[in-house]
């Protein structure tokens, strides 16, 4: 049985006052049946964990190395020490803006595990790749390169995020989401064995909104969502948590 996840990726948004959003969500969903993970900018992590809500707090990135001379970067251990229990790695915005390769993402996932964090590993095709009919091939290649040996249901969540859907108002057809999620589980099965693959959560990201969350989360092999814009307001993310609650 895979518990659904409603993960909010605040990206580069929010201030300390944004804690009010999380407080409002916790008031409306004091005992969610799903796992709620809020991923704010790193400086806000201790503020959110200090709220003592039923929600987990995650980071949006970590460095691959264990401490050292990397100005501006954050070590996974520091994130864990601040109360984070998960970290997103390989988001398409980091792959595009910071030139992160599958090898970088894999190293970051391993760094996350060493710190005891769950790695939310993102994969997804660009519009050009989709138009060329290469979606499954691209996602399989990213999975092979970005998911380290030793992945398990306890330390890893896969987020399928078609790059062309993120923040655009477009989502894939239901059948396309099901096909990719099923393909991801098949690959995980080949890598990790069927028993482990059956337990790993595979969540969908890209224009998840209150209006479409329930339908997307009900699709086969979809175990919840990674939500950007709609995670910034309690009135939007609340119904998405409710959809993941099922
Ligand atoms: P979106 O972003 O929900 O705003 O499309 C999703 C993401 O990038 O994780």
In sequence order, what DSSP letters do the residues of 110-145 get, joined into one string? HHHHHTTPEEEEEE---HHHHHTT-HHHHHHHHHHH
pLDDT band, residue 62 (cuts 50/70/90): very high
The tens digit of pLDDT for each residue in 171-223 reads 999 999 999 999 999 999 999 999 999 999 999 999 999 999 999 999 999 99
Q: Are the CB atoms for 147 and 189 separated by under 8 Å?
A: no
Any catalytic annotation for residue 179?
no
Atom of ligand 1 nearest to the CA of 167: 5
What 3-state class would DSSP assign to 41? coil
| pLDDT at residue number 225 | 98
90 lines ligand 1 (CB under 6 A): no
Atom of ligand 1 nearest to the CA of 166: 5
Any catalytic annotation for residue 110?
no
| pLDDT at residue number 72 | 96
pLDDT more than 70, % of the chain: 100
92 lines ligand 1 (CB under 6 A): no
213 lines ligand 1 (CB under 6 A): no
**Tokens describing residue 63:** 């460095």
pLDDT band, residue 141 (cuts 50/70/90): very high
Distance between CA atoms of residues 20 and 174, nearest Å: 34
Q: How far is CA 88 from CA 46, 94, 175, 198, in A?
A: 17, 10, 26, 21
- Ligand 1 atom 3: residue of nearest CA: 228
Distance between CA atoms of residues 153 and 199, nearest Å: 6
User: What value does the mean pLDDT take over residues 162-176?
Assistant: 97
188 lines ligand 1 (CB under 6 A): no
User: What value does the mean pLDDT take over residues 117-122?
Assistant: 99
User: What value does the mean pLDDT take over residues 25-44?
Assistant: 98
- Ligand 1 atom 9: residue of nearest CA: 228
pLDDT more than 90, % of the chain: 98
Residue 1 scores a pLDDT above 90 = no
User: What value does the mean pLDDT take over residues 61-85?
Assistant: 96
Residue 246 scores a pLDDT above 90 = no
* Mean of per-residue pLDDT scores for the chain: 98
Q: Which residues, including other chains, have CB under 8 Å from residue 240's CB and lie 6 or more apart?
A: 6, 208, 209, 210, 213, 225, 227, 230, 231
């Amino acid at each position: 049985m895979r518990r659904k996840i409603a993960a909010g990726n605040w990206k580069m948004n929010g201030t300390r006052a944004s804690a009010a959003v999380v407080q409002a969500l916790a008031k409306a969903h004091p005992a969610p049946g799903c796992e709620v993970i809020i991923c704010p900018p790193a400086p806000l992590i201790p503020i959110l964990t200090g709220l003592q809500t039923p929600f987990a707090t995650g980071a949006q990135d970590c460095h691959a190395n264990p401490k050292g001379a990397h100005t501006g970067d954050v070590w996974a251990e520091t994130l864990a020490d601040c109360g984070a229990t998960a970290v997103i790695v390989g988001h398409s915005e980091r792959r595009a803006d910071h030139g992160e390769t599958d090898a970088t993402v894999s190293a970051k996932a391993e760094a996350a595990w060493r710190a005891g964090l769950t790695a939310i590993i993102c994969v997804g095709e660009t519009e050009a790749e989709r138009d060329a009919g290469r979606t499954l091939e691209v996602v399989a290649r990213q999975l092979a390169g970005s998911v380290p040996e030793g992945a398990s249901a306890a330390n890893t969540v896969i987020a399928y995020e078609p790059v062309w859907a993120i923040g655009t108002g477009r989502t894939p057809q239901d059948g396309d989401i099901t096909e990719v999620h099923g393909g991801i589980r098949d690959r995980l099965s080949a890598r990790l064995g069927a028993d482990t693959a059956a337990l790993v959560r595979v969540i969908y990201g890209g224009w998840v909104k209150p209006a479409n969350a329930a339908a997307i989360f009900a699709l086969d092999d979809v175990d919840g969502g990674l939500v950007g814009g709609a995670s910034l307001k309690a009135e939007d993310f609340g119904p998405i948590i409710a959809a993941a609650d099922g």
